[in-house]
Amino acid sequence: MEIILRADSGFARDDLMSWCEDNGIDYIFGLARNERLVRAIRRQLAQARRESDRTKHAARRFKILEGWETRDSWSLPRRVIAKAEWTQGEANPRFLVTSLNWTDDARYLYEDLYCARGDMENRIKECQTDMFAGRTSAASMRANQLRLWFAAFAYVLICVLRRIGLSGTAMAVATCGTIRLKLLKIGALVTTSVRRIKIAMASSCPYQDTFAHAHERLSAAAR
């Protein structure tokens, strides 16, 4: 299994990067900028500035700095990805350090691979806020762990509902909180018998068609 660690500049430390390199684990970390790094992309920043002045929009250029060495903090040279950006009338350079060497597409490494971590953080926040994973106020660690498990289970189930049941509907890209509020937190009359469970929703329920659609798709997937 290929493992790629992706993290911000707080993790770009020599001991962690060396451990990854010794154990065959790739990484792509943010790298704090400094004057030396900014000087290395002066030409790209100038190009981005000219384009931004001409188009009145933000402009980016990318550069790979192979074999980049620090003065004393790194034990060996490493690959640095530089983003030379000019936006809102000023420079906004950003840097990454990575062990990945299977592509020379610096834009892909920065925009598609590294920046995707922001979406993963959104998923974590969604679980914390919409599924209440952040509520660990019980008196014991075991109880808090159980609450966290329940929140994680609920999040997985809502994601399956969104991916399968709500595909092709307006809620296919809705947050877990929206799905919980509009499809699950609704009043209904539940009648149980030996053979079935009947859920009777109000005829004025605005999402009854979506509910029926999700039920049909989940039933088909279970066959």
Q: pLDDT digit string (tens) for 27-85? A: 999 999 999 999 999 999 999 999 999 999 999 999 999 999 999 999 999 999 999 99
The structural domain count of the chain equals 2
Question: Do 9 and 81 sit in the same domain of this protein?
Answer: yes
- State whether the Cα torsion 147-150-156-158 is positive or negative: negative
Question: Do 11 and 87 sit in the same domain of this protein?
Answer: yes
Question: Do 107 and 126 sit in the same domain of this protein?
Answer: no
Cβ contacts of 215-222, under 8 Å, gap ≥ 24: 215/165, 217/164, 217/165, 217/166, 217/167, 218/161, 218/164, 218/165, 221/164
Question: Do 9 and 109 sit in the same domain of this protein?
Answer: yes
Question: Do 82 and 152 sit in the same domain of this protein?
Answer: no
Question: Do 9 and 75 sit in the same domain of this protein?
Answer: yes
d(CA 98, CA 109): 9
Supply the range of the domain harboring residue 171: 121-222
Question: Do 144 and 187 sit in the same domain of this protein?
Answer: yes
Question: Do 26 and 100 sit in the same domain of this protein?
Answer: yes
Angle of CA points 20, 22, 28, to nearest 5°: 25
Q: What is the mean pLDDT of residues 134-162?
A: 94
* Amino acid letter for position 97: V
Length of the chain: 223
Q: Give per-residue pLDDT as tens, 171-221.
A: 999 999 999 999 989 888 999 999 999 988 888 989 989 999 999 999 999
